[in-house]
Amino acid sequence: MKMTFRWYGKSDKIPLKHVAQIPGINGVVTSLIDIPVGDVWPMDELIELKENVNSYGLNLDVIESVNVHEDIKLGLESRDAYISNYKETLKNLSQIGIKTVCYNFMPIFDWTRTDLNKPLKDSSTVLSFDNEQLKNLSANDLVEKIRNDSSNVEIPGWELERLDEIEELFQQYENVDEEKLWGNLDYFLQQIIPVAASYNIKMALHPDDPPFSIFGLPRIMTNQENLQRLVDLVPSPSNGLALCSGSLGPNASNDIPSMIRHFGEQNKIHFAHIRNVKRISEKSFHETSHLSSDGSLDLYEIVKAYKDVNFQGHVRPDHGRMIWDEEGMPGYGLYDRALGITYLNGLYEAITKAKHE
């Protein structure tokens, strides 16, 4: 597996020089976060991004994410223009050698938490989701809370301007249930997958986070059955998954090692996010360090499953705690994610060597 680190481009406080010093690092996954969702990513900015990353000895093979415009998810007539732009972006990405494009299909909200700075016993802070707390919040309250929690650092997926239109968005989604959303995903993929395939780009759909409906919005990328349905929608080597253990993990019935084997054997895991999560109750959880004993997931079994299916793709640690007084984007500090990488590398080396004894 090729170890990568998510980096937020020029606005990221973490210098590429520091990323390049993480043992075993292969490259970064990143995006042009300043380009409004739905616009074509310009060639000149892509070339500059690629050259900048490469100048630190890091590869840029994976883009996370090219976000899907809301009109596509809603199935509005205007979607065709955005799909056409998406194809153009894929073409441009292929020209700088991108092999994998991560995306998600979550209505309105990207990943959702009720607290971005929950203190743990060791006074580190983590992202957490408390379903009881959510019941007392309106969507607007949640947006306000996220804004305050993040000290107005722009968090990808929570672009503040777009969320100002939140009430209107909710009205539009009143007519979109799960099956309608499946139909809109199908319409998108029928057009995008053949184009991605022609550029040898693998599309990697990230599961919904958390893997259940919030505020009554439909969410469909939530379990093995639905991920298989996605894979079967458009049979193509370019249609697959970004399997994220932490996003699927809050649902205890998602057996992550078994899902890795199930989809890995079909060559459908195009990108892997590995992190832990601590389940508190049926729909409440908080994030943790990557260490198995800190959370509800067994990271040894997860890495072993990737090894067993001979996974050769890109992997990255996911959200980390904020530790050692680091300041920055919640979940995306350098220190705890670097510790996560070192732990994953250790597990991988041990599992690999034990196999050959």
> Measured between alpha carbons, how far is 153 from 149 in angstroms, rounded to an integer?
9
174: burial class by Cβ within 10 Å (0-12, 13-18, 19+)? exposed
The full DSSP string for 303-322 is HHHHHHTT--SEEEE----B
- Indicate if 318 belongs to the active site: yes
* Interface pick for Mn ion out of 73, 219, 273, 304 (rule CB under 5 A): 273
- Which residues make Cβ contacts (< 8 Å) with residue 118, sequence separation at least 6? 125, 126, 127, 128, 286
6 forms part of the interface with Mn ion (CB under 5 A): no
Tokens of 73: 């998810």
318 forms part of the interface with Mn ion (CB under 5 A): yes
Tokens of 323: 């530790």
- Cβ proximity to Mn ion: between 127 and 244 the closer is 244
Report yes or no: 92 and 41 within 8 Å, Cβ to Cβ: yes
How many residues are given for the chain?
A: 357
- Cβ proximity to Mn ion: between 70 and 318 the closer is 318
Measured CA to CA in angstroms, residue 81 lies from 38, 70, 167 at distances of 9, 12, 24
* Interface pick for Mn ion out of 193, 220, 244, 323 (rule CB under 5 A): 244
- Cβ proximity to Mn ion: between 273 and 304 the closer is 273
> Measured between alpha carbons, how far is 178 from 296 in angstroms, rounded to an integer?
29
205 forms part of the interface with Mn ion (CB under 5 A): no
Q: Which stretch binds Mn ion (CB under 5 A): 127-135, 180-188, 243-251, 297-305?
A: 243-251
68 forms part of the interface with Mn ion (CB under 5 A): no
12 forms part of the interface with Mn ion (CB under 5 A): no
- Cβ proximity to Mn ion: between 50 and 107 the closer is 107
- Indicate if 206 belongs to the active site: yes
336 forms part of the interface with Mn ion (CB under 5 A): no
CB-nearest residue to Mn ion: 244
- Indicate if 319 belongs to the active site: yes
208 forms part of the interface with Mn ion (CB under 5 A): no
Please name the residue that has the structure tokens 């979607």. 79
Please name the residue that has the structure tokens 């971005």. 116
- Indicate if 300 belongs to the active site: no
- Cβ proximity to Mn ion: between 318 and 336 the closer is 318
101 forms part of the interface with Mn ion (CB under 5 A): no
- Indicate if 244 belongs to the active site: yes
Q: Which residues are catalytic?
A: 206, 244, 273, 318-319, 332
**Where does this chain bind Mn ion (CB under 5 A)?**
244, 273, 318
